[in-house]
Amino acid sequence: MKRIAYLTVLSGLFVFAPVRSEDNVYRQLIDLEAHSGNGSILVVWEVPEKIEVQSVKLYRTQNSFSNAILVFETNTATDRYLDKEVAGTRPYFYSIEIESSVGELFSSVADAPPFAKPVFDYGLRPTLSQSEKIIANYDYKTLDQFHGQILGNVLIKLLTTMDSNQVDIIRAMIFPIDAEPRSWISYAGFNGVSEFEGVFSDESFSNLRIELEDAMVRLGFSVKNQFLLTSAEWKNQAIKFTDRIIHRLSTVQDLLYQETDILNSSHPVLPLGSWVNTDGFSFIRLGILDAELVQTIVLRDDQNEFILDKETYADAEIIDVELDDSMEKIELIINGVLQQIMPYPQEANGYGLTIDNQFFMLADSLTAPPLIVSIPVTQFCLNEIANSPESQQIAVEVHGNVTETHVLGLFIDDYLVWEFTPTLSFEPMFIDSAFTWNTDQLFMWLDLKEVDEFGNWQLIDTRAIFTERQITEGRIPDHQRWKTYSFSTLGAPNDLTRSGTAKLMIPEIFALYQNYPNPFNAQTTISFDLLQPALVSLYINDAAGRIIHLFFEESQMGKGLYSYSWSGESYSSGVYFMTIQAQIDDYLPVVYSRKMIYLK
């Protein structure tokens, strides 16, 4: 026990008298605070800087007639203690002693000890609602757990026009704050998303902020000690919590608008992926966005055709349909119109499709694909693909912002066909190349990969292409949703408005593909697609614009794919340009060039 002496003053208050040890050891003063709480007192002290703590001893007493008892002792540099062994309405007084590893002694002011009560004076107690009393009296494991309770309570108070399930969905979208938000569709379903559009407004943001701040202040009296926070610390964290909630609310609001736009522009039935289950049966998963707009759903290939019974999708949002194992592809036909052609799943290659039509490979190929609205595109992506079954050639464009060095690779069916390092630039890059394919497979998987810090290829984008179909598809706008269109914009932004206008003025004659390989150190291949008969010239320019190699000039050529090899061995390293000029009928000639890099 430690006895603390008091001096009695005329006012009847007690103050600590200075304490001097018998060996006259000097004690340096440190700050000590005591904070009243709901059945507890939080004691906070200053830990001197640059010392190694040998011991910390905290003492407590209620009057000058009893010994101060040791209530807490540690050999760590902790700076606070929650005293729960207190009761009643009288104050408790505290003192502290800290000793360093070299014998230095520190103590709180002896003649002005801090004090606090384990209850709040009646006039200081805030008025709590019944639900807030329940929140205040709960024993929380973490501060996040408390934040979740108070957020739910405030949302119930504000969202009076919504049922409990809708309030729970909004709370789940907002909280936990640091978690990656799930999609609104995953909680509300395809048809329930629109019910939340009216929730977000400037007024609702303001009301939520006010209610959260007020609730945090009211409940702070009861719970702040539980989280070892002083009044000032509680106020600061309450402001930070409210700011983070408002920021999160803005994020999920944007997500709601994005998902609403995607749903409004989608077909009434969407493919969500295909896989082989653990029993070896193949399935396709379909999302039914609006059953009222669906007259027929047909799955077929060249040999099979299956018409789904309306009862299977009339009241469902997601259905799984077993596929015939003799199928080679999956054609999804809605109301008599071919909507999409997809690969038949292989046992080790199950895949999914997002609501906005991005392919992704399943982490577990034996389980059904999850419902994903969209996959955030990384720094680089497949941006445009043009497939020509007649010429057996596919052109691929990669888009991205190149602010640091990256090594990228395009794989076709797991075979590396194009490895390149984009040139650093502050402008978005559009790099494309063309490849001749020779396969008897109905589908090709195009994988864009990047070399990671360990030298391994990591998948960043993927797309399945039906080899027998002439198709041009791209992300519109760039880096966004996939769409199919009738002409290519390879090597340029996918701006269909601008491209459509240009198409009216300039006839669509050819597509000049990027040479491959590029850069090159010996020979490179130059390819172009002539879309209609024309007078064509093809030549190589140097950086000064001089023609250094002429393949042919004003040659009448028919429709088709043409490829030519060019060797730079007779020339110095540097930048060169391949240029094509074509003319049809009475139109002016169309001229287009692409840059090539020759490295000896």
Residue range 350-384, pLDDT digits in tens: 999 999 999 999 988 788 999 999 888 788 999 99
**pLDDT digits over 304-342, tens only?**
999 999 999 999 999 999 999 899 999 999 999 899 999
- Output the pLDDT for position 441: 86
User: What is d(CA 250, CA 504) in angstroms, rounded to the nearest whole number?
Assistant: 42
Query: Do residues 287 and 317 touch, judged by C-beta distance below 8 A?
Result: yes
pLDDT band, very low/low/confident/very high, at 511 (cuts 50, 70, 90): confident
Distant-in-sequence contacts of 369-377, Cβ < 8 A, 24+ apart: 369/272, 369/273, 369/274, 369/275, 369/285, 371/183, 371/185, 371/186, 371/272, 371/287, 371/318, 372/183, 373/183, 373/185, 373/186, 373/258, 373/259, 373/262, 374/258, 374/262, 377/461, 377/475, 377/479, 377/480
pLDDT surpassing 60 at residue 2: no
pLDDT surpassing 60 at residue 24: no
Percent of the chain with pLDDT over 90: 56
- Output the pLDDT for position 499: 44
Dihedral, 413, 418, 419, 425 alpha carbons, nearest 10: -120
| Higher local confidence (pLDDT), 545 or 56 | 56
User: What is d(CA 559, CA 551) in angstroms, rounded to the nearest whole number?
Assistant: 18
pLDDT surpassing 60 at residue 189: yes
Q: Tell me the average pLDDT across 584-588.
A: 72
- Output the pLDDT for position 593: 82
**pLDDT digits over 439-457, tens only?**
888 999 999 999 999 999 9
User: What is d(CA 546, CA 289) in angstroms, rounded to the nearest whole number?
Assistant: 58
Q: Strand, helix or coil at 249?
A: helix
Short-list 412, 411, 433, 431, CA closest to 421: 431
**pLDDT digits over 6-22, tens only?**
332 222 333 333 444 44
Q: Tell me the average pLDDT across 547-552.
A: 90
Tokens representing 507? 């006839």
pLDDT band, very low/low/confident/very high, at 545 (cuts 50, 70, 90): confident
Read off the pTM: 0.69
pLDDT band, very low/low/confident/very high, at 401 (cuts 50, 70, 90): confident
pLDDT surpassing 60 at residue 85: yes
When the pLDDT of each residue in the chain is averaged and rounded to a whole number, the result is 87
**pLDDT digits over 274-309, tens only?**
999 989 999 999 999 999 999 999 999 989 999 999
Class of domain 6-116: mainly beta
DSSP designation for 349: B
Tokens representing 47? 């830990």
- Output the pLDDT for position 493: 82
**pLDDT digits over 421-436, tens only?**
988 887 888 988 888 8
pLDDT surpassing 80 at residue 26: no
Short-list 328, 367, 333, 330, CA closest to 351: 367
Convert 464-487 into a string of H (helix), E (strand) and C (coil): EEECCCCEEEEECCCCCCEEEECC
pLDDT surpassing 80 at residue 550: yes
User: What is d(CA 400, CA 382) in angstroms, rounded to the nearest whole number?
Assistant: 9
CB count in 10 Å sphere of residue 160:
7
Query: Do residues 410 and 447 touch, judged by C-beta distance below 8 A?
Result: yes
Alpha helices in 228-378 (DSSP H): 231-264
CA atoms within 13 A on the CB side of 429: 21
Tokens representing 389? 């079954």
Looking at the structure, give the CATH architecture of the domain made up of residues 380-598: Sandwich (2.60)
Query: Do residues 448 and 382 touch, judged by C-beta distance below 8 A?
Result: yes
Query: Do residues 355 and 262 touch, judged by C-beta distance below 8 A?
Result: yes
- Output the pLDDT for position 497: 46
Domains of the chain by residue range: 6-116, 126-264, 269-361, 380-598
User: What is d(CA 546, CA 579) in angstroms, rounded to the nearest whole number?
Assistant: 11
| Higher local confidence (pLDDT), 14 or 191 | 191
User: What is d(CA 400, CA 384) in angstroms, rounded to the nearest whole number?
Assistant: 12
pLDDT band, very low/low/confident/very high, at 122 (cuts 50, 70, 90): low
